[in-house]
Chain A
């Protein structure tokens, strides 16, 4: 039995639309459409899903499976803006609705369930409210889960999304209240739910699976102190939520009431950009105040009011904490959708207020600040997909490690359609990114640094002559027939060699007659001050790189 002192988690409703991006783009369910981000499918219409397109597919893969697939670029601003209408319509019926991300919101089940006549009836009502607010949305495209705690409800919502789609009818998944029922519901599920819904790291989930802990029940059955000792704090957290325990991150508390960032405009503002700019200042102010106490905001209320009393108030939740950039992004989503709502606003905005609702101690797990690393990565990845769209993917290249003794072999340029440039790979910490990882290992027989700045894409034929005017030859034992004296590149006038070194022989792939290469490398500097890397192969001199 559970310890009596454990406060039972609140009963929550999680509503999510797994393919929200494609709904936000206005694609109807019967047309095969996919939304791509960084060359990967992030959302697809039911029609595309029926022909086998999955989230995570690459563009080529998706187009092969479904040739008539229409592709739309990912636009987070569009996702956020369009979702505002759904949130607004449900928030009229439901208090304290909090948005986690575009396509997903959460609220307390108790009050609304009583009002609508039971949890099942409430779920159906909420689904139809969302479907009415969004033109191309059907109720069966939503997953609605009700359960004790955010994790349980989230898992249930995911479950419900699958069932609803299969039956083309909204099928809310309702987990009975109480710890015993929650445990029974979670126990047979895969530990991958900890990663997908619980936000735990891929590494931890992989480790659990390798150790043979495949279900949440198996993890929950272990003694808590042992899990803490073996897997640390994240492991203890995983253990707790797997057993249906409190899923709020440790150190969560209500925000101190005096912590408010407000701006009152003397002249009502009707444009979005100045409001977002002000929001950035407010967010920085707030972030500074919180950071001074080592805390970070996980739930934030954003309120805007016009001179005629129209109000937009949303709660935003982010388990890892809201960085300045995240706050600004959310304010933009909220206000953009609000300003553009049918009928529009009658007046300009006079008040903008950010109120932290829940804070927790900062464990450093949040992303970088404004202009921070993650931000730069995100911008660059977006620019890459835009440029690839303009000039073709074959023309946009990134370095990949290849390995070899010649300067042109170490790294090769690879077109971006074969590479994942997702966020995280930029810092080299992404799990799926190993295109440059092998570079840390030294390659036997490589010339040491410095390496040539220019590696010719096509080697230039050259003639290296000795003092007597004969071509310098290199024999099989690496001995020279004469001391190099002049060099003539591509039949240009001969230049005096001022210094030289070599030969450094390369004898590659001698076991493969087709790929066998045997050559000797030399470095030369000429009277004009240029340094070259030359090779001699079959008694022919080539310039392959310029230092």
Chain B
């Protein structure tokens, strides 16, 4: 009996799959996904950022994580707008994979235009950019309108810190992480192991993943715990000259 049910279920599913292309044009949410760096794929429901969604990044390393998330789409040709993060490290952004020639920042002081015009500014960014990274201070009404606009335009909003009135599809939380490579008077910061959790309405249960962020070259890397995990090229990395040798560097 049970076996029969299962087979009929199987048949029905088969028939459905055959029907789907005929009913079209249907655009599934997962067809509209912006690719992320492979190391972050396991954290995301469709292995990428779904267009029209709102992503929250929280915790002490939220900025690093936000940059790592937008790096994949940016490298694939999307433009990234950052709002009000004047301290953004551009070298780090370049190393994690963001195309700096497709990065634009709106200064924080631009918020002085007032709440209404400011919402228009964000809305204009949504119209032109695939990814917007910002901290929010908008009211509920404006947030609702912007969220609707995101969905029609297919952009992704990445919020750093408290999402405020926005409802996030996925929220990432990362800890401070542990650094490797630095000794006592020797070595240098080589890479940081971050533990990232993802939860939200698109994920049936919380996902947790350890990544190297930044990895050895500044990019985001998968942690291979099972393999003997070493960095191979540290010896070839060129440090600035030792103090005695380079007492006078000309610049």
Contacts and interface: CB of A to CB of B under 8 A. Distances in A.
Given A448-B237, A448-B238, A506-B251, A531 B87 contact: no
Interface string B47-91: 000000000000011011001000000000111010000111111
Nearest to A508: B251
A137 B88 CA distance: 50
Interface residues of B, number: 74
Contacts of A435: 101
A395 B182 CA distance: 38
A410 B88 CA distance: 12
Given A410-B90, A451-B92, A510 B247 contact: no
B11 to A, nearest CB: 33
Contacts of B184: 483, 499-500
A521 to B, nearest CB: 8
Nearest to A450: B214
Contacts of A382: 127-128
Contact of A376 (B110, B130, B249): B130
B130 A478 contact: no
Interface stretch (B137-145, B186-194, B198-206): B186-194
Interface in A403-452: 404-405, 407, 410-411, 413, 416, 425-428, 433, 435-436, 439, 444-452
A390 B117 contact: yes
Contacts of A503: 243
A455 B185 contact: no
- In this complex, which of B63, B129, B188, B189 has the most chain A Cβ atoms within 10 angstroms of its Cβ? B189
Given A391-B110, A510-B248, A545-B89, A501 B187 contact: yes
A428 B74 CA distance: 13
A109 B184 CA distance: 84
B182 A500 contact: yes
A490 to B, nearest CB: 15
Contacts of B191: 450
B178 interface: yes
B2 interface: no
A115 interface: no
A399 B100 contact: yes
A466 B35 CA distance: 48
B29 interface: no
A457 B86 contact: yes
A386 to B, nearest CB: 5
Contacts of B77: 372-373, 376
Contacts, number: 227
B125 interface: yes
A53 B88 CA distance: 38
B189 A547 contact: yes
B182 A439 contact: no
A383 B215 contact: no
B40 to A, nearest CB: 16
A47 interface: no
B228 to A, nearest CB: 22
Given A397-B104, A499-B187, 18 more contacts: A382-B128, A387-B121, A387-B124, A390-B113, A404-B251, A426-B102, A435-B101, A439-B100, A446-B240, A447-B188, A450-B92, A452-B92, A454-B88, A477-B243, A478-B244, A503-B243, A505-B240, A507-B250
26 contacts: A376-B102, A384-B128, A387-B124, A390-B113, A394-B107, A425-B101, A426-B79, A436-B101, A445-B241, A445-B249, A445-B251, A447-B188, A447-B240, A448-B238, A452-B91, A455-B89, A456-B87, A478-B244, A483-B184, A501-B186, A505-B247, A507-B247, A507-B251, A523-B188, A525-B189, A530-B60
Interface of A: 372-373, 376-377, 379-384, 386-387, 390-392, 394-399, 404-405, 407, 410-411, 413, 416, 425-428, 433, 435-436, 439, 444-457, 476-479, 483, 499-510, 520, 523, 525, 528-531, 545, 547
